[in-house]
Amino acid sequence: MKRITLKTGLLFAMLVAFGTVTANAQSKGDRKEPPTTTELLKQMDKDEDGQLSKEEVKGPLKDDFDKIDANEDGFLSKEELDNAPKPKGRSRN
């Protein structure tokens, strides 16, 4: 009985170790590119008017809305998004 329990425990530990190594290897693979301005408009433009209101945006874009809205009309156009400062990536530790 102890022998079966030991074998089962070792098998489980090996599976957990293998799964951890596999998950870490996958997370260090291809980096996902940030969306283009066209993709952002397509994803967030709920009323499909070709521009983004403050209510439509989320995340860092919402935080920097006033900086990106160059003509201060309350909307972000494709041109304003194209000219927006690019977010800095996280530093690697």
> Residue 52's domain is classified under what CATH number?
1.10.238.10
Asked if residue 65 belongs to a domain, the reply is yes
Distance between CA atoms of residues 69 and 81, nearest Å: 8
pLDDT per residue as tens digits for the range 11-39 = 777 777 767 665 555 555 566 788 888 99
Asked if residue 88 belongs to a domain, the reply is no
> How many CA atoms lie less than 13 Å away from 35 in the CB half-sphere?
12
Distance between CA atoms of residues 92 and 16, nearest Å: 26
Asked if residue 12 belongs to a domain, the reply is no
* Structural domains of the chain, count: 1
Q: What is the pTM of this model?
A: 0.59
- The band of 9, judged by pLDDT with boundaries at 50, 70 and 90, is confident
Using the predicted structure, report yes or no on whether residue 3 has a pLDDT greater than 90: no
